[in-house]
Amino acid sequence: MINPKRFTFGILERADLFTVSFYGDEHRHALSLLGSRSGRDGDKLHGTGLTPMQDGEFHTYKEAELTFECRKIFSQPLERSRIPEELASQFYAPGDKAHCMFVGRVQKILEGPARA
């Protein structure tokens, strides 16, 4: 689920492939930095200590404990009108679109940090 306002939304909307990665607690600060900066504004990896890696067409980080390499099957925007207003008003400004769900088929699973 990704908010349409996020830079990642446009990337995933155009892409056929994506990854979902999981990290240990020691990377909490790095993930906080990634979640609070936008790739629109520059290099959001700076200062995270994460090491980018590529596995064929997929991109992830060596520090990930688990990475799912996925092929996008479809996407479905949530209907804002179906979200109870007391919840919607906590997460969305008036007129904002709700999150969009992206569904993918796992092509490969990578396990363990520091793999090559």
| pLDDT above 80 for 83 | yes
pLDDT at 57: 93
Residue 55 domain-assigned (yes or no):
yes
Residue 69 domain-assigned (yes or no):
yes
Q: What is the mean pLDDT of residues 63-90?
A: 93
Residue 84 domain-assigned (yes or no):
yes
Residue 42 domain-assigned (yes or no):
no
Residue 32 domain-assigned (yes or no):
no
**What is the 3-class SS of 57-113, one letter each residue?**
CEEEECCCCEEEEEEEEEEEECCHHHCCHHHHHHHCCCCCCCCEEEEEEEEEEEECC
pTM of the entire predicted model? 0.82
Q: Determine the 3-state secondary structure of 17 from DSSP.
A: strand
Q: How far apart are CA 94 and CA 79, in angstroms?
A: 14
Domain membership of residue 98 as a residue range: 7-23+51-111
| pLDDT above 60 for 71 | yes
Residue 38 domain-assigned (yes or no):
no
Q: In the structure, what pLDDT confidence band is assigned to residue 101 with cuts at 50, 70 and 90?
A: very high
Residue 40 domain-assigned (yes or no):
no
- Number of structural domains the chain divides into: 1
pLDDT at 42: 72
Residue 77 domain-assigned (yes or no):
yes
pLDDT tens for each residue of 2-58: 999 988 899 999 999 999 999 999 999 998 888 777 777 777 777 888 999 999 999
Query: Cα dist. 29→22, 26, 50, 51 in Å?
Result: 14, 8, 11, 14
